[in-house]
């Protein structure tokens, strides 16, 4: 059953651009956003368009609005939800933004400010009423956002015996040659890596917006055949670890 005090929920599973519509209903059309609950602590990984419904849920449920938002990187599809994240506009919210790929040339506050400025956006970052802090770190640092919670970071080149690996598997092996320098991987490579690293559960994530529900059903079936227990992430999916 897993540990009810350690859960993961997917609020956005797409890459590149939101893709709403009847062909993506089952897997979802929002871009990357993953909620992790560690006891009473809330950690959010990536702030794509899936961050908006997460924020709305937090407001409706009266959840504690003290949390950390970590960015894997700051491409637009991973940050576009921030201006529409309702807790940012609540004075009783306390939010820390983290990024590990921008030092020393930039920082996460600078990136978010650039996004929320004219002519790209009508209001600046300073409109946020929440208490905000911005933390930049270097890949390889060990982070301790709260007592009892340790986040080990590193350049993305391998994993080792993780309980859950959430992997950017935008393409198939057949599609990859024409996208090899686009910064994304394949679901088959995800399976191979998970097997080599003896990962317990693989979650295929960051789906191509052109891969509709029928396509993702085929990926799910082939991935499960290749490595039983493999999951294709869907919006709303909750995992207990």
- Tens of pLDDT, residues 166-186: 999 999 999 999 999 888 999
pLDDT at 61: 78
Check whether 100 has a pLDDT greater than 50.
yes
Domains assigned to the chain: 6-240 (3.60.15.10)
* pLDDT range class, residue 1, cuts 50, 70, 90: very low
Check whether 2 has a pLDDT greater than 60.
no
Distance between CA 141 and CA 2 in Å, rounded? 28
pTM over 0.85: yes
């Amino acid at each position: 059953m897993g540990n009810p005090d350690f859960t993961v929920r997917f609020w956005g599973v797409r890459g590149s651009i939101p893709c709403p519509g009847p062909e993506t209903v089952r897997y979802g059309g929002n871009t990357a956003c993953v909620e992790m609950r560690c006891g009473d602590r809330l950690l959010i990984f990536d702030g794509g368009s899936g961050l908006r419904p997460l924020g709305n849920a937090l407001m409706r449920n009266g959840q504690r609005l003290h949390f950390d938002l970590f960015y894997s990187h700051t491409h637009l599809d991973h940050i576009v939800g921030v201006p529409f994240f309702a807790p940012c506009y609540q004075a009783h919210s306390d939010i820390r933004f983290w990024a590990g790929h921008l030092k020393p040339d930039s920082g996460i506050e600078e990136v978010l400010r650039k996004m929320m400025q004219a002519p790209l956006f009508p209001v600046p970052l300073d409109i946020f009423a929440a208490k905000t802090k911005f933390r930049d770190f270097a890949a390889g640092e060990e982070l301790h956002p709260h007592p009892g919670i340790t986040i080990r970071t590193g350049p993305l080149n391998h994993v080792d015996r993780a309980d859950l690996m959430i992997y950017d598997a935008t393409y198939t092996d057949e599609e990859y040659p024409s996208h090899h320098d686009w910064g994304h991987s394949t679901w088959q490579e995800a399976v191979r890596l998970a097997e080599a690293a003896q990962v317990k559960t693989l979650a295929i994530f960051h789906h191509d917006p052109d891969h509709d529900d029928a396509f993702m059903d085929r990926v799910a079936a082939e991935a499960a055949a290749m490595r039983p227990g493999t999951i294709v992430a869907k919006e709303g999916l909750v995992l207990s670890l």
